[in-house]
Structure 1
């Protein structure tokens, strides 16, 4: 009864052969791990050294090629520089011509816009011819195509203008005119429908000069008078009308000579002229006085607007070389990427080959360890179930540890 428990405990104790196998397995694992670590370190150093060597060789080859190609690069760079200068000059001339054309167009548009808001004052100076066949000689000036006024004077005085009518008479200093003395000048504004808008009347006479003054003046100016450089005349200017134009519009100005009461004698005239001058309203007068400033600023604003439109919608007209240069740069970048592509691909393939080699070597090592552990398991019948389970657990732990080591080594590479 007492012998059986001792026999069972004796069977549970590990045998020397098991201890020896485990010791050999431990020593082999330590030796194997050391070899793997050294091999991995040496392999990594070798890969780094080979990569450095390849890079050094590539740098050396590129430096040698650059040194050999220095003369050709200088000539090529000079040609490229001259081409860039030439194309830059052409581009500058093109931009200059476009900007000048836009500036001229902006000036025309700006001046046209100011002219739409600008009104010129009316200035008329025309000779009148009195009809002495009438009892009261009359002369008439009409606005319209028949008048000798210029511009808007032919169309009449614009509405809102205030215009002044003056009469200039050139009279000889004759005894007849001096005896007549005072006579009357009448002026009337006739509307387009034939009605008199306004009427005015002013007395007129020669300037008085006594006999001694006349004799002295004749003595002093004797030579010019004999040579025809001066004449014995007087010029009389009379302001007749001052009115603001409205509706109905003015069609004509009628002037007549009326003798003094109690007489029928009319003055002698060399020449008679009518002067018509209009004044603008204050707003239009302001625009007229500052028209050159408005020309400049309006043209400048229009020029800026045209430039904004040109840069926003018609950029290719101003810079025709931009799109071509951009396409060339993109094409050069694509060529450079394609030339660098094979080098990057070769480097990646080299790294993938090293990783694949290490992975296969780790898998073969795991298989060898699994075979060794299976041989170390006792095949005797008296071995207990607990011993079998422990052995299997150790085997699985060793396999998992090796797999983890292999993954860490692969990821490190």
Structure 2
């Protein structure tokens, strides 16, 4: 036994070293095997992040474009609601030649059934200055040339039928002498015969000018009056009333710069909508960022959990190795101690056998108790 004890101890140490070398080789091999998987995982993560970045950029561009179009529509619409346009009206009128002084009128809102002026919507906004002109298409007949002068009267009526403004102007055909008429007839003979040209004159007369205010204007009435001392009225092909309004200088300035105001209004609305969205609905503009934050949070929690689990496993393996090492140390000490006791005593073989048996039983009890613990 004395000769075998060092040999057994040496074998135990060699076995221990062999197991440790095997563990080191296994660790190196596992590291080499895990390296490609880590590289693949990193590349996949990078590609995923790049893809999320591209999709997020496209999504943000789409949202910004939609907001910009909405702001442009709102800005242009609000400016057009704010800006006033001048009024332009061109209407044909028909004189009533059954009267001594034929009249014709233009009503902005319409007439009632009894012929009175209806109290309805007016056509001229407040503050506008409107001009009334009359266009007469008259034939160059002998009757019109002989009549010469006649009078035109224009009256602006309120919704109550009161006269707000009145103007009167003389009118006549433009004079053409006999030689001029003959030469023109000779030169324009073929177009006149074919109906391409006509022997007519169109006369335009500016009748009145008025600034719209309260009470509001409702209609314009035009009257033909013959020259004093005569009862003959001019012959007309047709007559038209032309009404044009001018804006106040402030509104005219806004109208002239309406597109500039539209651009600035759209920019302000765009900035306001972006501030509201970024303050209240950030996830609507950056949904991928929120998803990434939650994913990163979950992955961080998972990594923390995995690290804690790895640490627990490492501690468990360390404690197991420490327990095994203690067992091997106790066995070596027991073997060495047993050998020394046998060499130093002169007991009988029976007592040595009993002591050896009792020592082996005690060692087995210790090992069993440690394994159970």
TM-score, structure 1 length as denominator? 0.63
2:171 and 2:111 map into 1 onto residues whose CA distance is 29
- 1:139 matched residue in structure 2: 104
- 1:69 matched residue in structure 2: 37
- 1:91 paired with 2:56, answer yes
- 1:294 paired with 2:261, answer yes
The equivalent position to 1:203 in structure 2, one of 154, 159, 170, is 170
5+ long unaligned stretches in structure 1? 1-52, 148-152, 355-413
Q: Secondary structure at the match of 2:287?
A: coil
Deviations 1:246-268 (A, max 9, x none): 11111110100111111111111
Q: Secondary structure at the match of 1:156?
A: coil
- 1:116 matched residue in structure 2: 81
Greater RCO (CA < 8 Å, at least 6 residues apart): 2
Displacement, 1:183? 0.7
The equivalent position to 2:231 in structure 1, one of 264, 268, 276, is 264
Deviations 1:259-278 (A, max 9, x none): 11111111110110001111
Displacement, 1:159? 1.4
5+ long unaligned stretches in structure 2? 1-20, 113-119, 323-373
Distance change in 2, residues 1:174/1:78 (3 Å): farther
User: Is the contact made by 2:122 and 2:218 (CA closer than 8 Å) also made in structure 1?
Assistant: no
Deviations 1:24-58 (A, max 9, x none): xxxxxxxxxxxxxxxxxxxxxxxxxxxxx9xx989
> Which structure: larger Rg?
1
> 286-295 or 180-189, which moves further after superposition?
286-295
- 1:103 paired with 2:68, answer yes
- 2:95 matched residue in structure 1: 130
* Structural mapping, 1:8-407, within 5 Å: 60=28, 63-69=31-37, 73-74=39-40, 80=45, 83-84=48-49, 86-144=51-109, 155-341=122-308
Alpha carbon RMSD of aligned pairs, Å? 3.2
User: Is the contact made by 2:150 and 2:170 (CA closer than 8 Å) also made in structure 1?
Assistant: yes
Distance change in 2, residues 1:284/1:58 (3 Å): farther
TM-score, structure 2 length as denominator? 0.70
Displacement, 1:146? 6.7
User: Is the contact made by 1:168 and 1:235 (CA closer than 8 Å) also made in structure 2?
Assistant: yes
Aligned positions, number: 291
1:146 and 1:192 map into 2 onto residues whose CA distance is 10
Deviations 1:67-112 (A, max 9, x none): 4537xx44x5665555545544543443333333322322232233
Distance change in 2, residues 1:186/1:222 (3 Å): same
User: Is the contact made by 1:169 and 1:236 (CA closer than 8 Å) also made in structure 2?
Assistant: yes
Deviations 1:140-169 (A, max 9, x none): 11111579xxxxx96321111111000000
Displacement, 1:328? 1.1
User: Is the contact made by 2:122 and 2:216 (CA closer than 8 Å) also made in structure 1?
Assistant: no
Q: Secondary structure at the match of 2:169?
A: strand
2:219 and 2:293 map into 1 onto residues whose CA distance is 72
Distance change in 2, residues 1:228/1:80 (3 Å): farther
